[in-house]
Amino acid sequence: MHYLYILQSIKDGGYYVGVSKDVNKRLRQHNDGKSRSTVAKRPWRVVLVEAYKTPSEAYLRERFIKSKKSKKIIETIINKRPCS
């Protein structure tokens, strides 16, 4: 399985959208500062996970969400689907 995940910064409430086969491992990497794009807003928490059978499905969903460039859209998605 491949997972789309949305993280929320505990520091400032911002969001990060990504794809991974292992969300828990990826969260540790984000919180350990191993991702340049998220290091400044640590610590992070997982607020949404969606499972997909193929990487292309997960990446299509990621691109859709990122293309909106809207915190409001991300919050709407999060509020409609509980984190697993």
Q: Are 5 and 61 in contact (CB under 8 A)?
A: no
User: Domain with 36 in it: what CATH number?
Assistant: 3.40.1440.10
Give me the amino acid identity at 22: D
* Tens-digit pLDDT profile for residues 25-73: 999 999 999 999 999 999 999 999 999 999 999 999 999 999 999 999 9
Give the Cα separation of 42 and 59 in Å (integer): 24
Entry pTM: 0.92
Give the Cα separation of 3 and 58 in Å (integer): 6
Q: How many domains does the chain have?
A: 1
Give the Cα separation of 45 and 83 in Å (integer): 11
Instruction: Report the pLDDT value the prediction gives residue 32, as an integer from 0 to 100.
Output: 98
Domain residues for 25?
2-80
